[in-house]
A and B are shown apart, each in its own frame.
Chain A
Amino acid sequence: MKNIIPTQKLNCILLVDDDEADNEFHSIIIEEAEVAYSIKNANSAKLGLKYLNSIQGSTDKFVIPDLIFLDINMPGMTGFEFLQKCCENHLLDTISPVIIMLTTSVNPNDKITAEEKFAGLVKGFRVKPLTEKMLDGIMSEFFGNREASDFSGKEISQNLV
């Protein structure tokens, strides 16, 4: 299959995107790439926040996201407002996940916002749809030296409610 070695497999990836079809598609790509033990789909920024709140202090490492794919343009709460709330409530302090903005098109202003307000937090921008190649790149760029996890179960993609 692909040249990803099992030691690099992530415990959990969180997808935050209001487009249900996009979220599902991205889950499928991640599942097939076999890069994570669990995938959490949040269909709104609010659900994403709720999830991050719920896992604070959890001892189950397979619920704690190593990587978050975050859409920007979402009704109700945008990706940046989501990040703002995360910072205000210290939701990422102990988790410190890699955050990648995953959007339909990259607006230069969004890049500026990310650099000015969330420098260090937002690690990159990717244009939808997520592909295996993109995932490979992200894995080798940010997760080159991870320790192996002792998870033996099947990959689980879960829709958050």
Chain B
Amino acid sequence: MKSIPHSATLSYLFKSNYNLFEAAASPIIAEDLLGKVIFVNKNVTDILGYKSQELIGNDINSLMPETEWKAVKKRRLETSSGRKGIYDKRKFVTHKGEIVEFSDEMHPIFGFDKETIGFMHHLTQHKQEDVGALYALLESCKDGIMLLNMDGNILDANEPAENLFSLKKEEITGKPIGHIIAERSISRYEEYWKRKISHPNDLAGEFDVELYCRKKNGKEFPVEVTFIPLGDTIVMADFRDMSEKKQMERSLRSSNIQLKRFKSELQQYTYITSHNLREPLHVISNYIELLQKKYADKLDAKALHFMGHIVNSSDKMNSLLKDLLDFSSIDVYTRLDETDCKTVVGEILAENDSLLKSNNVKVNIGELPVITANAVGMKKVFYHLVNNACKFQKEQPEAEVAIDARENKKDWIFSVTDNGVGIDEQECKKIFLLFQRLHATEKYSGNGVGLAIAKKIVEMHGGKIWVESELGEGTTFYFSLPKYIPQ
């Protein structure tokens, strides 16, 4: 060791710059290569409660609890081998025997021949309340939290962090955080660290990062980490265990796949059922018709009346099955196009001209937009709403139906209004259910499928359908369609 001759140099260095160091805002202690105190500024003597001459020449270890000695020694080696500005959490003992904690930034001191001749401890004392609050936060927090220095070395860890990584904090303090990060996530961590630490105010990019970490036994698991620089010396790393979330994501994904399969099975099932049921039904109606035709004169009125029931019921079943088939095949209307609602409504009115004329319905069309939607689907929605409006009319000379649209920020609201019989408030909820009919009378035909189809199509587009009505006054059906529909 060539420390002894250098001590004089070191002492000289500090004496010649005395005013500068004395005026520094933070406590500064210099030691030579043997660990003897060469210089302390006023801040140090004030805080530790010694006079400067009581400290100069003494072993710096005597100012620290024994637990720090090993760490300081290790840090001296690192510092002299060129790693500058390393921060540690360091405890000192005051004259009264109290422990004071500093953040210790250690710098090598070079002599005239550019060799290390000692070390300077640039201390930062955290205000007691700050430290207290920080520690209270650390201990009460359910997330695993570690405090790191600016080099990414672990200074401290709370209990949840110990549990998360299945180790004790004594086992990791002083080690670089890379130690607990899985190989595959290292580059991701480094990139995130660089961004958070060298540009802490740059808010671009993600706030958190998902990494794989390693437990003590080497087992890797997913975490979400946030690095938050606290001042210039400490970085708080907040770890949240994502194992459960990942597990849930996986099970959600598999449930989704299953759901899709069920849905397609159900669709197929409905289709096949309604399709196959229609075949024997046709046979029944065909032969009853034949009976009616060929044997009408041989059967009495009662028999013909009974046969009437059979014909009516098989017709009814046929139309129910057809509607069921229609309802189940809506799912094919998924392709989205530029759809001009004015054209769509125009087509419907033209195709149903005779229905409108026979019911004496006058239709007023407002300004209708061009939207992104499935054109066939939209046509069905408007058809069923117009058909519904035409069907439930009062005994009046002229029925009126108004079709309109209103633009909102995010969606379009369409409305189909009639001046018909209206719907009882209690019934309004039921009307969109499949095969739900509100009227028992023969006057209003139908199976109760139209509005269910309209609802399904609107909802497939991410919209909603609802109804407002006053009994005896009329009804307005509204449906919303989002302007932007994710494909």
What residues make up the interface of A, taking CB atoms closer than 8 Å to B? 18, 20-21, 24-25, 43-46, 74-77
Contacts and interface: CB of A to CB of B under 8 A. Distances in A.
B448 A75 contact: yes
B140 interface: no
A75 B313 contact: no
B440 A24 contact: no
B426 to A, nearest CB: 9
Interface in B321-365: none
A43 B441 CA distance: 9
B438 interface: yes
Nearest to A18: B440
Contacts of A21: 309, 312-313
Consensus secondary structure, chain B interface: loop
Given A24-B309, A46-B440, A77-B440, 9 more contacts: A20-B309, A21-B309, A43-B440, A74-B440, A75-B436, A75-B439, A75-B448, A76-B440, A76-B441
B240 interface: no
A76 B309 contact: no
Nearest to A28: B306
Q: Which 7 A-B pairs have the closest CB atoms?
A: A75-B437, A21-B309, A76-B440, A44-B440, A75-B440, A18-B440, A76-B439
16 contacts: A18-B440, A24-B309, A43-B440, A44-B440, A44-B441, A45-B440, A46-B440, A74-B440, A75-B437, A75-B439, A75-B440, A76-B437, A76-B438, A76-B439, A76-B440, A77-B440
Interface residues on B, range: 10 to 19
A25 B448 CA distance: 25
Contacts of B437: 75-76
Nearest to A75: B437
Interface string B428-443: 0000000011111100
A44 B309 CA distance: 17
Interface of B: 309, 312-313, 436-441, 448
A90 B354 CA distance: 48
Nearest to A43: B440
B288 to A, nearest CB: 13
Contacts of A75: 436-440, 448
B432 to A, nearest CB: 15
A117 to B, nearest CB: 16
A32 to B, nearest CB: 14
A50 B65 CA distance: 98
Nearest to B448: A75
A20 B309 CA distance: 8
Nearest to A77: B440
B316 to A, nearest CB: 9
A2 to B, nearest CB: 23
Contacts of A24: 309
Contacts of B312: 21
B450 to A, nearest CB: 14
A45 B439 CA distance: 11
Contacts of A77: 440
A75 B437 CA distance: 5
A46 B424 CA distance: 15
Contacts of B441: 44, 76
A21 B439 CA distance: 18
A70 to B, nearest CB: 14
B429 to A, nearest CB: 13
Nearest to A20: B309
A134 B439 CA distance: 31
Contacts of B448: 75
Nearest to B430: A78
Nearest to B310: A21
